[in-house]
Amino acid sequence: MAQVGTDVQHAAEILARGGLVAIPTETVYGLAADALNPAAVLRIFEAKQRPHFDPLIVHVPDLESARELSSDMHPLAVRLAEAFWPGPLTLVVPKADRVPDLVTSGLDTVGLRVPAHPLTLELLRLCGRPLAAPSANPFGYVSPTAAAHVNAQLSERVDYILDGGPTQVGIESTIVGFEPDGLVVYRLGGLEVGAIESVIGKVRLAINQSSDPKAPGQLLNHYAPRIPVHIFNGQIPDGWADKGFGIIALNTVPSGLFPKEKRLLSIDGDLNEAARNLFAALRELGDMPLAGIVAVPLPEVGLGPAMNDRLRRAAGPRPQ
Ligand code: TXA
Ligand code: MG
């Protein structure tokens, strides 16, 4: 098992010598390395078994540090950063030359974000370098929302786990980019699209669902637990009732369904609470000897669309 603790100084020393540290953020835990050290960044890809075509998000302590990594921060990017950082928003902007190509998978843009977690902000300031960090899970699997989730899957591959408690948002950041026609949302996430629109007006959604996406994190089979997931459409797959299945729903099990295990995400129907509980529910049921998981879609308001997006991907074709 990897060492787990709250020693920010120790974490900073490991990062300074090219090591890997799992870091808490408000969304999910990240697997961090010095973004300006290609050898350290390479270790992230190896630890996650992540394909090199999938670029990493770079975490910085503030907007000023973000500017140092971008050759051209779009005025709308600055407005959004001022409105929502620290917070669950990643801005894809033209990269500065000093950002290694490995981090951006050869793209001329870089994804930047200031995470809203006191321990990680302290770490970013203390170590004085930007941290490349994808979610701290093996490629294609559910993202970790607690230190124990990281330890269960990546323990031998990470030098230290900085324990910041359970994550407060529970799903990954919203990713936006800037194209000639304006702002585009590439990934739904912890910041609602409505909040972005309240600052800069109508935006375009380009949520990729293909197997050859522009933003590779949008692969259709992302977020997959160990057993199949079925989006509830009034029926359940053949044989599941006999073997026993699990169910994930907001606060009620649809009538006529008799799951062996259930995870109700928020008894009060609070979608923020539901988002906090979603990945742990997928993980727990995914580790049980069940035929599969029936996921009841969440209401399409608030964080509902972002959660439904995760569920659809979890139910997507299994990686070969
Ligand atoms: O909340 C989050 O965003 C978490 C925490 C740790 O910050 N991170 C996270 O990283 O979810 P990851 O690697 O699991 O997903 C990041 C995705 C990539 O897969 C890619 O799709 C997109 O961000 N991305 C990164 N850089 C990009 C770029 N330059 N252009 C387009 N997409 C990019
Ligand atoms: Mg991920």
User: What pLDDT does residue 214 have?
Assistant: 54
Q: What percent of the chain has pLDDT over 90?
A: 91
Q: Is the dihedral of CA 127, 132, 138, 142 positive or negative?
A: positive
Q: Which of 178, 280, 152, 162 is nearest to 225 (CA)?
A: 280
Residue found under tokens 């995914």: 286
Mapping DSSP to helix (H, G, I), strand (E, B) and coil, where does residue 178 land?
strand
**pLDDT grade for 223, boundaries at 50, 70 and 90:** confident
Q: Which residue type occupies 310?
A: R
Single pTM value for the model: 0.96
Q: Are strands 57-59 and 174-179 parallel, antiparallel or unpaired?
A: unpaired
pLDDT for 28: 98
Residue 249, SS3?
strand
Chain mean pLDDT for the chain = 94
The pLDDT value recorded for residue 317 is: 79
Domains recognised in the chain with CATH numbers: 4-205 (3.90.870.10), 229-314 (3.40.50.11030)
Ligand 1 pocket, CB under 6 A:
25, 27-28, 30, 54-57, 88, 90, 92, 104, 107, 109-111, 113, 115, 133-135, 172-173, 175, 186, 215-218
* Ligand 1 atom index nearest CA of 111: 26
Centre of ligand 2 from the C-alpha of residue 10, in Å: 25
Say if residue 318's pLDDT is above 90: no
3 state DSSP class of 90: strand
In this prediction, residue 127 carries a pLDDT of 95
Bridge partners for 34 per DSSP: 131
In the prediction, which pLDDT does 82 show?
98
Q: What confidence score (pLDDT) does residue 209 get? A: 56
CA of 56 to the centre of ligand 1 (A): 5
pLDDT band at 267 (very low <50, low <70, confident <90, very high): very high
For 193-222, how does the pLDDT look when each residue is reduced to its tens digit (9 = 90+)?
A: 999 999 999 999 998 755 545 555 556 667
* pLDDT confidence band for 274 (50 / 70 / 90): very high
Residue-level pLDDT at 210 = 55
Calculate how far, in angstroms, residue 48's C-alpha sits from the geometric centre of ligand 1. Answer: 14
For residue range 106-155, list pLDDT tens digits in order: 999 999 999 999 999 999 999 999 999 999 999 999 999 999 999 999 99
Please name the helix (run of DSSP H) or strand (run of DSSP E) that holds residue 19, with its range, or none: none
Over residues 268-295, the mean pLDDT reads 98
Question: In this predicted structure, what is the pLDDT of residue 30?
Answer: 98
Residue pair 245/292 in contact (Cβ under 8 Å)? The answer is yes
Q: Which residues fall inside 5 Å of ion ligand 2, going by CB?
A: 135
